[in-house]
Amino acid sequence: MTKIDSGEDDVLADFEHARLATLDSLGLLDTPPEREFDAIVQLAQRLTGYKIALVSLVDKDRQWFKAKIGLDVDQTPREFAFCAHAVAADDILIVPDATRDDRFSSNPLVTGAPNIRFYAGVPIRAEMENTLSKRLPLGTLCVIDDTPRDVDPGDMQLLVELAHLVETLIATRLSAATAVRLAEERSRTLRTLDRKHRQLRQAERMANVGSWRLTLADSQTEWSEQTYAIHGVPVGDGKPLDKALDFFPPKARETIATSLDRTMRTGEPFDVEVDFNNAQGEYRRVRSMGELEMDQGRPIALIGVFQDITARFMMEEALRHAAHTDDLTRIASRGRFNEFVDDKIKATFANGERCALLLIDLDHFKAVNDRFGHHAGDEVLRVMAARLKADYLSNCFAARLGGDEFVLLISDQAILKDLSSLLSRLLCDLQYSVSANGLMLNVSATIGACWLGGQVNDRGQLLRNADAALYEAKKIQRGSAMIAGKDELILPGQAKTAPLRLIQP
């Protein structure tokens, strides 16, 4: 047995420590799938014909897959990882038949699913943190098959080039300054691959990222081809700054101009997402990053990257709208109400205005469900929600808290001059009859109201006080309303409130 020198152990330990530190600094582990990385493994599988293609990152105790195709799991223990051998050697690893290789023949990934036979992996390297002199292997771009195979030289060259593309994608995360240089490097790699595979030309378009440069002396812009494509204009000379800003709506234009000015004044990089209209007048959402380019200690230009993120933005907006909208009634959800009322409370205090919250509970709603079915109950909820969106309430905010409970936030100063009359009108509007097969049930609403102000200065206190007023109103007479702090009951359709002593519970 060969004895390993303790000095060699120290070198290996330092190498692994630096490698793991670099991997951690990139923030790649356990991140969601990204279409740029997914596109690379799809191309690797499609163009080589192997069943599995992976971008694998080797962590301390596991290998985790940043991108995968043909495999269901997201990670495996490091002790079973073929990729760990390629990382340790910092070199290409080819295993024509794992069952005949002493290193892997008893490996659970060979003896069981996914039944690895062939493996080829190319190390993916990144620059060690705080230095440009050392590139460390983070993982591999690899292809796997369940049939023993001899590697094709053309396939290996393709994997090497695709591994370089993965490295370029990772490197763009480090800083906006290096993003331009790495984008050019990626473009050169793509052009090389395009001579062999036309499909690979789609990769940059799939990323939808371009680069730009703004010279400070004359405000002239230089754009990469993809930046022109995002703008919807032919490739040509850069536009002056004032013309380039014309693609942005006024608010977005101000954001971009302010960001550019701040970076030029302070040297701080910027990263903004704004609205954008291309040359065809089509709406887009774009992300722009930039920082200063220095020459002998003097700023000479702004450099950065430009990305069309419309699809992602639209998806996020759709998800946000769905989360903020009650599915049944199509008015605001409880979550949206919580956000809105907190902002409104701050604005109300800041503007010295009044605000009131109405907690609305439907009477006899359970009986509707029990006697006529949940479809009838659902219709009652939709009707009540629609009435809370009536024209005279257009400046109010209505939401469904859940079940048969609604809330109405009133900040319309004209309506608030006579809150009792509004409550009386609402009690009338929220009366509804349900009938079927000779049976009829009358649904009404009981309301508890609370003014914002004094000790009532947050959402929780507003809701608690309104709920207490609602409880008192229900205890005395369903289909009525009470305002927290006032000993009077409000009935439907009455101009004046009814003193409690005249109401028989």
**What confidence tens digit (pLDDT) does each residue in 426-454 have?**
999 999 999 877 788 999 999 999 998 87
Question: Is it the case that residue 482 has pLDDT exceeding 90?
Answer: yes
Question: What is the CATH T-level fold of the domain 208-314, as seen in this structure?
Answer: Beta-Lactamase (3.30.450)
Residue 23 vs residue 183, higher pLDDT:
23
- Contact at 8 Å (CB) between 43 and 200? yes
What is the third-level CATH fold of 325-502?
Alpha-Beta Plaits (3.30.70)
Q: Lowest-pLDDT range, 146-160, 211-225, 316-330, 370-384? A: 316-330
Comma-separated ranges of CATH 3.30.450.20 domains in the chain: 208-314
- Calpha distance 238→247 (Å, rounded): 14
> Mapping DSSP to helix (H, G, I), strand (E, B) and coil, where does residue 483 land?
strand
Q: Kindly report the backbone phi and psi dihedral angles of residue 345, in degrees, each rounded to the nearest multiple of 5, phi listed first.
A: -60, -45
Determine the average pLDDT of the residues in 34-57.
94
- CA dist 390 and 405 (Å) reads 18
Nearby residues of 334 by Cβ (< 8 Å), 6 or more positions away: 399, 400, 401, 402
pLDDT of residue 209: 82
Among 40-49, 130-139, 170-179, 402-411, the least confident range: 170-179
Are 394 and 382 a contacting pair, CB within 8 Å?
no
Rounded CA-CA distance 449/477 in Å is 15
Q: Does residue 153 have a cis peptide bond before it, meaning omega lies within 30 degrees of 0?
A: no
The single-letter code of the amino acid at 186 is R
Q: Give the span between the Cα atoms of 473 and 467, in whole angstroms.
A: 10
Is the confidence at residue 130, as pLDDT, over 50? yes
Residue 75: per-residue pLDDT: 96
Tokens matching residue 439 = 């049976």
- Residues carrying CATH 3.30.450.40, the chain: 6-204
Residue 27's pLDDT band, with cuts at 50, 70 and 90, is confident
Average pLDDT for the chain: 85
Give me the pLDDT at residue 110, please.
Answer: 96
Phi/psi at 286 (5° precision): -130, 155
Class assignment of domain 6-204?
alpha beta
